[in-house]
Structure 1
Amino acid sequence: MKNLPQKVRSKKLNSRVDLTAMVSVSFLLIIFFMVVGELSKPKQMKYDTGQDRSCCDCPPRQDGENRSITLILGENNKLICYVGVIASPIKKPKTVAYGKNGIRKELTARIESLKSYYSDSSKLMRDLVVVIKPTKKSNYGNLVDILDEMKITGITSYYIVPEFTPEESKLLASN
């Protein structure tokens, strides 16, 4: 008999599939869609008109006039401040100096005058708003000095606004 070549038998492949990676990806997708779904929900903010408070709890809140101070940074280290709105200010616009005996003294005096309306000083610092309006001719150092004063006095609500009302433009031109 002749030597017949023997048949080579092919190995049977393992028919089991490892699903470990697929399970990991599935969990990652589930977590991703849960987070995206939670973040895409519309959020609501409570609008506080002050109507529900009695008149002795807080200062008058006619559009925030009593709790706002506006600082206008002019050229040549000029600083003008007033309280309220420029058309009918609570405290008339005046030029003050930078530093401890100037603007810091004005800010602390304003904080002290509002303390009688608040029992909680942290609420006072949130409600007191300083509007900082640098002119195009003011320098960067003056803005940094004002921001330092906000930190020193503990005022947390301040805004830097580059727009001026016509009355403020007239005030800057007259000074």
Structure 2
Amino acid sequence: MAEINIPAAGGKKTGVRRSKKHSTRVDLTPMVDLGFLLITFFIFTTSMSSPRAMNLAMPKDTPPDKQNQVPESNALTVIPLNGDKIFYYHGDLNDALKANTYGVTNYSVTEGIGQIVRTKQVILNRKKPGNRDELVVMIKPTPESNYENLVSVLDEMLINDVKRYAVMDLTPEEKEIALAKSELQ
């Protein structure tokens, strides 16, 4: 800061001297060092959140001839299509086409895929009490269906307490028939 000198009025008197003011300078180097030390400490002591994933139950490795075979009466195949349509059939595709046990539905609460799954569970439970847990749903999305369709079908499996379901590849024959039958309805 500047120093102000006030001269004496009469010349003989000495003026009142003021004390010299020094500028205040704060050295922030130790503060910056402390800040970096604290940041480093908290980075090393915090635990990063680990990613969550869905539990995936994989079957045991068995030879192809001894793999678990699903009875056709317990099988339901669901094929999500574009336009929020779902093609489904019970058992084997060729047998379902002959017996007319297939259909096209949507994601409606009252008459959608959830209702189809619940009806299948009731039928299995009538055959043998507790047999509803033996239902196996095979989900085979088409390349034209979107991710939301697949998630909606998986949600229906969770809502209806389906214990055994799998996301599988779609065969060309299934794709052709599903698209042809969905265009008719």
TM-score class normalised by the smaller sequence: 0.5 to 0.7
Q: What secondary structure is seen at the aligned counterpart in 1 of 2:107?
A: coil
Residues 41-52 of structure 1 aligned to structure 2 (within 5 Å): none
SS in 2 for 1:87: helix
Matching of residues 23-62 of structure 1 within 5 Å: none
* TM superposition shift of 1:140: 0.5
Q: Among 85, 96, 107, which residue is 2:92 paired with? A: 85
Q: Which aligned pairs between 1:4-19 and structure 2 lie closer than 5 A? A: none
Who is 1:139 aligned against?
146
What is the alpha-carbon distance in structure 1 between the residues aligned to residue 135 and residue 175 of structure 2?
A: 24
Whether the 8 Å contact between 1:133 and 1:160 is mirrored in structure 2 is yes
Question: Which residue of the other structure, out of 113, 135, 144, is the alignment partner of 2:123?
Answer: 113
- Opposite residue 87 of structure 2, the aligned amino acid is I
Please state how far the C-alpha of 1:124 moved relative to its aligned partner: 2.9
- Which structure 1 residue ranges, 5 or more long, are not aligned? 1-42, 50-60
Bigger fraction of residues in strand: 1
Deviations along 1:35-91, one digit per CA (max 9) or x if unpaired, are xxxxxxxx99xx799xxxxxxxxxxx9x51110000001111111111011111155
User: Percent same amino acid at aligned positions?
Assistant: 26
DSSP 3-state at the match of 2:94: coil
Which position in structure 1 is the counterpart of 2:176?
Answer: 170
Which sections of structure 2, spanning at least 5 residues, go unmatched? 1-60
Matched residues in 2 for 1:71 and 1:112: separation? 18
* Residues 130, 91 of structure 1: alpha-carbon distance in 2 compared, 3 angstrom cutoff: farther
Tell me how far apart the structure 1 counterparts of residues 162 and 67 of structure 2 sit (CA, whole Å).
Answer: 20
Distance 1:48 1:163 in 2: 20
Write the distance in 2 (CA, Å) between the matches of 1:72 and 1:164.
11
Which 4+ residue blocks in structure 1 deviate beyond 4 angstroms? none
Q: For 2:140, what is the secondary structure of its paired residue? A: strand
RMSD: 2.5
TM-score by length of structure 1 reads 0.58
- Could you tell me how far apart the structure 2 residues matched to 1:132 and 1:145 are? 11
- Distance (whole Å) between structure 1 residues aligned to residue 146 and residue 74 of structure 2: 27
Which of residues 88, 92, 107 is equivalent to 1:98?
Answer: 107
> Could you report, residue by residue, the CA deviation over 1:87-130 in whole angstroms, capped at 9, with x for unpaired residues?
111553211110312111111111001102223x3x531x2100
SS in 2 for 1:110: helix
Which one has the largest radius of gyration? Answer: 2
- Partners of 2:176 and 2:67 in 1: how far apart? 34
Q: Distance in 1 between matches of 2:85 and 2:179?
A: 12
**SS in structure 1 opposite 2:132?**
helix
Output the CA distance in 2 between the equivalents of 1:151 and 1:115.
18
